[in-house]
Amino acid sequence: MNYINENFIAGRSSKVELTPDVSLLESGIVDSTGILELVLFIEEQFSIKIEDEEIVPENLDSVANLLAFLEKKNVAVTR
């Protein structure tokens, strides 16, 4: 969540509340380019490869979905 707060929310004029279940796309926190930035960050941070077919809302559209996706990929994530 820190990465999302620092790179997509910080400095916005409008107040956005990031909760585990809020849709990153629907809330306007992240756009399609932002999803690609997020994917790149995750791949670098956790030394994993995210396949093109894995870049779907079910995996990346909320913090909760993202954590569940990382757990499926056997990435140890501190909640």
pLDDT (tens digit per residue) in 36-70: 999 999 999 999 999 999 999 999 999 999 999 99
**pTM given for the model:** 0.86
Per the structure block, which two tokens stand in for 44?
């670098």
The structural domains of the chain, ordered by start, are 2-72 (1.10.1200.10)
Quick: pLDDT tens for 3-13.
Answer: 998 998 887 76
Q: Give the single-character DSSP code of 53.
A: G
Residue 14: which region, alpha, beta or left (left: phi > 0; alpha: psi -120 to 50)? beta
Contact assessment for residue 63 and residue 17, using Cβ atoms and an 8 Å cutoff? no
